[in-house]
Structure 1
């Protein structure tokens, strides 16, 4: 791997804008906003719109597509050949 071409990889706190849930991970993203974490350190804070805590797929609020009804409607409209 070449040296001095990769961005700095450091701990960052991400906050879900919808739920307020925060989690500490590592990222190359930076921010001027900071947050005091429970371990006593100060980390950059990045606020994101959607995380697994608020995304409909992960929360179970996902819409279910009625694929059978769509196929039946297509067959009624255009007929089976």
Structure 2
């Protein structure tokens, strides 16, 4: 525990799972979770990358002609005839 005078406390709270906090000692600022995520989410075109790389399960299924589709074998299960 570090004792800090109340007048030096900017805000109180806790970091929950998935939250971030940046203390910039050079600029003497504290950057909160929302501002950090906003900054980094705009730094690269992540949304566009995801749109281009995402594969839908229906696209995989539809890439095989229905007549060529085979049900997967499941160990210990006998297929119905």
| Higher relative contact order, chain-length normalized (CA < 8 Å, sep 6+) | 1
Structure 1 and Structure 2 fold alike (TM over 0.5): no
**What TM-score results when the alignment is normalised by the length of structure 1?**
0.26
